């Protein structure tokens, strides 16, 4: 009898895990209106999707501040910022870390762009970029290029931290100069 109860509990847990994974993987597609967000940045300033209307937005999701891959990705975006600015684009990083963690990360690596604190993972989930293991949540390494009208232009899934900034810059250059 105990075995059946245990098997039932495992089946229920598996069902909810798969349901959560299915919901979390609903990525916005090219041409979709970008999901709205309102989140604090590393300075406590509230940032919203609407403030980027009229310009391109690179919205990249990353797992954790100050980890090796996330640091490399952020520094490559930092090093490519002039290119993004010349192309009329802003860059925002998003993770489930808090604003204080983002502030320390930005100071340590001289990051000139907004790092948005998605503490409960709601925005990451709307962008199909949340890994939710119950107590532990973190963002998947996905990037979204959003056009000046607020539409998703390009989706990068499971990106390579070392190549992401250059890939997005190349795509944006092609879109802007076409």
Residue that the structure tokens 């604090």 belong to: 40
Task: For residue 92, indicate whether it is catalytic.
Answer: no
Q: Alpha carbon of 169 to those of 65, 73, 88, 141, 148: distances in Å?
A: 22, 13, 11, 17, 16
Q: Which residue out of 59, 70, 91, 115 is catalytically annotated? A: 70
Residues 6+ apart with CB under 8 A from 157: 27, 140, 142
> In degrees rounded to 5, what are phi and psi of residue 124?
-60, -40
Residues 6+ apart with CB under 8 A from 64: 70, 95, 97, 138
The DSSP 8-state label assigned to residue 104 in this structure reads: H
Please return the burial class of 98, using the count of CB atoms within 10 Å of its CB with bins 0-12, 13-18 and 19+.
middle
Where in the sequence numbering do the catalytic residues fall? Answer: 70
């Amino acid at each position: 009898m105990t075995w059946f109860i245990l098997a039932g509990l495992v089946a229920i847990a598996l069902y909810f895990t798969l349901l959560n994974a299915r919901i979390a993987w609903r990525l916005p597609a090219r041409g979709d209106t970008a999901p709205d967000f309102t989140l604090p940045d590393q300075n406590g300033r509230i940032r919203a999707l609407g403030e980027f209307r009229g310009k391109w937005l690179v919205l990249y999701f990353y797992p954790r501040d100050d980890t090796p891959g996330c640091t490399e990705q952020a520094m490559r975006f930092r090093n490519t910022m002039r290119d993004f600015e010349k192309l009329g684009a802003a860059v925002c990083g998003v993770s489930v870390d808090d604003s204080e963690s983002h502030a320390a990360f930005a100071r340590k690596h001289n990051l000139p762009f907004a790092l948005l604190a998605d503490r409960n993972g709601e925005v990451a989930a709307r962008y199909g970029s949340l890994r939710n293991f119950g107590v532990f949540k973190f963002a998947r390494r996905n990037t979204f290029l959003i056009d000046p009208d607020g539409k998703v232009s390009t989706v990068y899934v499971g990106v390579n931290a070392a190549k992401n900034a250059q890939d997005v810059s190349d795509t944006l250059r092609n879109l802007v100069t076409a």
